[in-house]
Amino acid sequence: MNNLEIKKFAQMIADDSKVLMINLLMDGGFHTVNELAKSAQIKPHTASYHLKRMLDENFLTMEKHGRFHYFKLTNQDFAQFFESIGAITPTKPARYLSQHLEMEKMIMARTCYDHLAGKLGVCITQYLLEKNYLNYSGEEVHVTTEGSYFFEKQGIDLLMLKKQKRQFCRMCLDWSERRHHIAGSLGHAIYDLFITKKWIIKSPKSRAVILTQQGLFEINNGWGLDLE
C-alpha cells in the first residue's frame, strides 16, 4: 500500500457518518441507500452523496434491481485498512444495553469484509498455525502439506482459490483482539464453509456472527479445537 492510497483511505474515513456506513458495508453484503443512511443516522440524500464519492473512488460496486440501488464494498485493501486501523482507535462506550450486547457479539465473532474476525477468527487462525496447517513467516502465509489435506477434507478446493483474481491467503490485524486472523480467498472459503454448514449464523443487527451449537460441536469434536 503506497502513501497515495493511505492518504485516500484516510480521507474516506474522516467523516463519522461515512465510518458508520462503511462499518455496515464491512459485512461483505449488498445494502440499500436507506439501510446505509439509517446505520449512519443521516438523510438518504446525504448517504447518496457519500456513496457516489465512494463509487467514483472505486471503493464500491453498485447493482440496480427494480427501483432500488444496492451497494457493496469491493476494495479489499481498504477493507483491510479499515479493520486494522480499529486496532489503534479507542472504542466508544455503548450508550444503550442493546448496543452493548451487540458489541459483545461483534467482539466474539464478526465478518471483516468477507472473512471471519473477532475472537472466533483469531482462535481459528491460531489453531491452523499450531497444527502446522499454515506457515506464517514475515508477511508470507503458506499452506503446508498437512494443511492441504486438512482443507481438502473440509471440501475447500485450494487450486480453485489460487486461480481467483485476489490474494490467496494473508493475515489481517483484528481490531478487537490486536492479533491476526486469516483473510484472502482462503479466509473467505473458511467463512463460507461455516455459513454453509450452519456453524455460524449472521446477526440481523450488525456484522456480528453467532456460533451455533452445531458449530460448537463440530469444531470441538471434528477439528479438536476447544472453543469452550
pLDDT in tens, 83-116: 777 654 445 554 555 666 777 888 999 998 899 9
Cell for 162? 489460487
Q: Where are the domains of the chain?
A: 3-74, 97-223
Q: How many CB atoms lie within 10 A of CB 146?
A: 13
- Predicted pLDDT of residue 216: 95
Q: What CATH number matches the domain at 3-74, 1.10.1490.10, 2.40.30.10, 1.10.10.10, 2.40.160.40?
A: 1.10.10.10
Give the H or E element holding residue 147.
helix 145-153
pLDDT in tens, 164-194: 988 899 998 888 888 999 999 999 999 999 9
Average predicted confidence (pLDDT) for the chain: 88
If one compares 128 and 94, the residue with the highest pLDDT of the two is 128
What lies within 8 Å, CB to CB, of 69 at 6+ separation is: 32, 33, 62, 63
- Predicted pLDDT of residue 209: 94
Tell me how far apart the alpha carbons of residues 106 and 157 are, in angstroms, rounded to a whole number: 29
